[in-house]
Chains A and B, each alone.
Chain A
Amino acid sequence: MSHQEPRKIISIEREVLEKNDRMARMNREDYARRGIFVLNLVSSPGSGKTALLSRTLERLQGRLRAGVIVGDLATDNDAQRLRGFGAPVVQITTDGYCHLEANMVARAAEELGLDGLQLLIIENVGNLVCPSSHDLGENVRVALLSTPEGEDKPAKYPTLYKSSQVVVLTKMDLAEAVEFDRDAARRTIAEVTPDARVFELSSKTGLGMDAWIDYLVQSIVK
């Protein structure tokens, strides 16, 4: 015998990412209490996050105490590249996960040890889509754009660039060779994310690195 079950609508109105957002808030409060300035580096794979990070650690050595959390899909190659600059490095292998989440960062931070740190740099998984919806508790989200990727990336991936407070143009030493239109890139960034601070540099030649390092040092003094 079949009969119609009584059906009812239950109103929910909840954010799907509420758990991550809550965890990110806790991370942010913890970092603020300890006086740590936190960066979340996002970009597509191969745009130079690890190269920028290693040059950054090299220059910060002896100037301020930095720690690094690196997210990678499967290997610890990036973490290997970053060791040897006097900064603690913890690797999160996401096993195919396309982005980092706030709870992964909290666990990694515990492993890293936050005592005495002034700067925490989180290198997210190389991906232009997924990391944009996951707050990790950072102070500043830094989107990298390498010259070979082309100047219209910010218009193609507005979600990521609009959620970033800093944009770093990397591999500027290749700009001419890959016919990168710098003015068009600056214009696109200014239109898509007008409040973002923009840096242009080359980790390889050191061009523009001083301004970037000064920015980090000043952010910490604040």
Chain B
Amino acid sequence: MFLSTQKPKLSNFWINFSPLLQINKHFIYICLKTQQFKFMKKSFVKGLAILGLATIALVSCEDSSLVLDEDLNEQVDEDIVKIEEQLAEISYTVPTPNELFDIVKALGGELNVGLINSLDNKDNYVDLKSKALNFGVYSADLGYMSCFENGIEFLKYTKAIENLGNELGISEVFDQDLMDRIANNEDDFDSLFTISNETYFDSYLYLEENKKGQELSLIIIGGYIESLYIVTNLIEEYKEGNEMLERIGAQKLVLENIIDFCSQYADETAVSEALSSIMELKSVFDDNMTFVEPDAKAAAQNDGDVRVVASSGSYEMNEKTFNAVKAQITELRNNITQK
């Protein structure tokens, strides 16, 4: 069970990968807490030197995050108490923007090219943070356009992403083979949609494998912001029963996983700034959504050979939440793209 006790804030540096380092974290905490730090200093420093070297090396092997839950715990809504076992490390994953667009299209959403980020802005992104965030933004735009069968700008946007990718050190993803596939499928929107999805995933894997957690986090955040910006702005005004509103509400869950994932890189200033922005968005969801009690009669059932998981209590959208989320996401998105 999560505890609300405020431990001394320790860097992620110490909290990775092995039980040994977990012990190390608690060792430091106990030392500080009991005021015995001075007496233990001599032996502590020796141990620290060795463990520090080990940690520096091991940190790069870290895959996921016991620390994420601890960081999250400090930010979780006060009305919510999380009960979770922490026996295993958890890797948090995030659906791509393409999945959301696919759903939105099926629900009657439309293409509005006025919502995508103009390529005129691409030369304004000069620092790593804005390059990575807008790599995510343009990737989401690419997914949106291909999903809604607009191939006119596809190659231009791919080129823009490629240029940003080169500057972020992921040029390997954008090889000649990819460009040839795009050229050969310029009228096949299903293929373009698949290509945009694969490119996003390959960029993700490349960054993860090459320990570029900062860039990866920013790209994921940029993609999320752009996709939610597009979908919320496809709805002019709140209307009870609009199914797209429920999908926007589900983006709260995606946001939580993004925060869990990116928190492991929160030592990087750019990531912590971006996290801080999306934490504000999470607060907008948390503070305004309506809690719906679980249906006591709900039970799992089978639909053929597919198990249908019954829902429990949930949070639902309402007019106040929609308007607040739309305003917040529009501000966030414009802060990223308008440099």
A interacts with B: no
- A residues lining the B interface (CB < 8 Å): none
- B residues lining the A interface (CB < 8 Å): none
